Amino acid sequence: MSFSKIFLLVLFITVTMIQTPEIPINDTRLSIHTLVREDIFSGFLVDDMERLSRGEKNIQLLLEKRPAAKAELLAWKGGATLYRGVRAYENNNMAEYRRNYQAALDLFSESKKLSSDNGGAAAVIGGSYVVLADRLPKENRESGWSQAYDNYMILWKLQSPVVAKLPVHIRGELLSGLAQSAQRTNKNQEMTEYLDKILDLMKGTPYESAAKEWKNNPEKAASSTITCRTCHDAGRLSARLAALK
């Protein structure tokens, strides 16, 4: 296991071991992302299927309660379904993998039809692929990374004018997602450009260290990751609930 994968595993086991409050699904002061993010990513990152299932159930409830957020919610549902597909593939159940993979593609497509330039949906779809694309079967990996890059480009168009003012986590994940998806899709010039932006805009952060490693040891880039270097502490459910008191 690479150092990067060990780092990510330790980081997210630490995060998900923090006591999670009950999900106040009816509190409209909280974004749908705050309400489902931690449960879905607990599935992605530490295979906590109980929390993934809770997240999926809450997505269904929110689709009824918040129809205006349907594009973002379908993206989250697609991400959870993609993870179930990856899990099936890794357990040699190709029939289940194919069912879930196609269902995830359909959910992502439906999300895009509702709002092709929705930044929230793009972040979820792009982030899902960045975490999971390397774990897809070889024949689907290239397409997964291409989708990741396309969705991060939507985010870049929306956020680039204010990128220097974004919180560290959001800024770092945007730039590292662009760099990593560019690397995986053989866009080497674009990868270098985004690594340079990380070095310029992420000084003193784990993203800077990761970008330096990629620049100094290019051969490591194909088998390592530079995303998920910090936690979205300000967006955590417990933090948002505390801020609302």
CB 177 within 8 A of CB 199: no
Average pLDDT, the chain: 90
223 with 187: CB under 8 angstroms? no
Can you give 35-76 as a three-state secondary structure string? HHHHHHHHHHHHCCHHHHHHHHHHHHHHHHHCHHHHHHHHHH
Residue spans per domain, the chain: 3-16+29-244
Q: What is the pLDDT of residues 84-97, one digit of tens each?
A: 999 999 999 999 99
- Are the C-beta atoms of 198 and 211 separated by less than 8 Å? yes
pLDDT of residue 58: 97
Q: Determine the average pLDDT of the residues in 217-224.
A: 92
The pLDDT tens digits of the residues spanning 27-82 come to 999 999 999 999 999 999 999 999 999 999 999 999 999 999 999 999 999 999 99
In terms of Cβ atoms closer than 10 Å to its own Cβ (0-12, 13-18, 19+), residue 72 is buried
Tell me how far apart the alpha carbons of residues 36 and 237 are, in angstroms, rounded to a whole number. 9
Task: Report yes or no on whether pTM surpasses 0.75.
Answer: yes
* For range 147-152, the mean pLDDT: 98
Residue 6 has pLDDT above 80, yes or no: no
Over residues 212-225, mean pLDDT: 93
Mean pLDDT to the nearest integer, 162-186:
97
Task: Decide if pLDDT at 139 tops 90.
Answer: yes
Residue 58 in contact with residue 23, Cβ under 8 Å? yes
pLDDT of 113 > 80? The answer is yes
Answer yes or no: are the C-beta atoms of 107 and 60 closer than 8 Å. Answer: no
For residue 19, pLDDT beyond 70: no
Among 23-27, 121-125, 143-147, 237-241, the range scoring the smallest mean pLDDT is 237-241
Residue with tokens 């929230």: 120
List the one residue out of 77, 72, 73 whose CA is nearest residue 105: 77
Q: CATH fold of 3-16+29-244, please?
A: 1.25.40
CA–CA distance, 114 with 73 (Å, rounded to integer): 11
